[in-house]
Amino acid sequence: MKNIVILISGRGSNMQAIVSAAIPNVRIAAVLSNRADAAGLAWAAERGIATESLNHKDFDSRFAFDTAMMEKIDAYTPDLVVLAGFMRILTPQFCAHYEGRLINIHPSLLPSFTGLHTHERAIEAGCRVAGCSIHFVTAELDCGPIIAQGVVPVLDGDNADTLAARVLAVEHKLFPQAVADFAAGRLKIEGNRVINQQRNAAGDQNLLA
């Protein structure tokens, strides 16, 4: 059984997708947030999952906050820490502490459009497709080895909201599978590439919606 700690900052829709997937051999040990009013905390608590919050504004540095957050996370002895809409730039110390067991979802096809406002930027750039990427986290923002990507078309007349909704639907399918693949020991990092033996054998499993 793998212990998973999920970090959120808002409603945590990807966290909800992971919990609802009831992944074999996975225990959602806790859901933590940097905001006490994050709606996802109440959702998780209603399902009997331990929840905690830690306000980053109460700390005088990013390092101090990350150190305190690491203490809370480590109390649950996680095998994997999942960033599901956790809107904080993490310190190198945090990333190093969870190296190889810290994953994030980003709403673009990395390495394109790192950072914020991804959907607006994809539309402005005239992209014909957009999507999401799940990756291992490193100290360099949105640049860790990619586990999986999901692709959607950018339609004529799309705006940031309509494109975001289409991408989010794919995120909710892709993220639980990535967690399941990690828990099953199917993921291996070689350089900057993630090898998934089962999926490679079955062919390209990325989602097109």
Catalytic residues: 106
Closest CA to 68 of 53, 83, 82: 53
Cβ atoms 109, 133 nearer than 8 A: yes
**Please, what is the Cα angle at 88 between 160 and 50, to 5 degrees?**
105
6, two tokens: 């999920």
- DSSP-assigned beta bridge partners for residue 135: 104, 146
Cβ atoms 26, 102 nearer than 8 A: no
**Using CA of residue 107, residue 78, residue 179, residue 143, what is the dihedral sign?**
positive
Taking the C-alpha atoms of residue 65 and residue 176, their distance in angstroms, rounded to an integer, is 28
Taking the C-alpha atoms of residue 178 and residue 33, their distance in angstroms, rounded to an integer, is 21
Buried b (16+ CB within 10 A) or exposed e, 119-153: bebbbeeebeebbbbbbbbbeeebbbbbbbbbebe
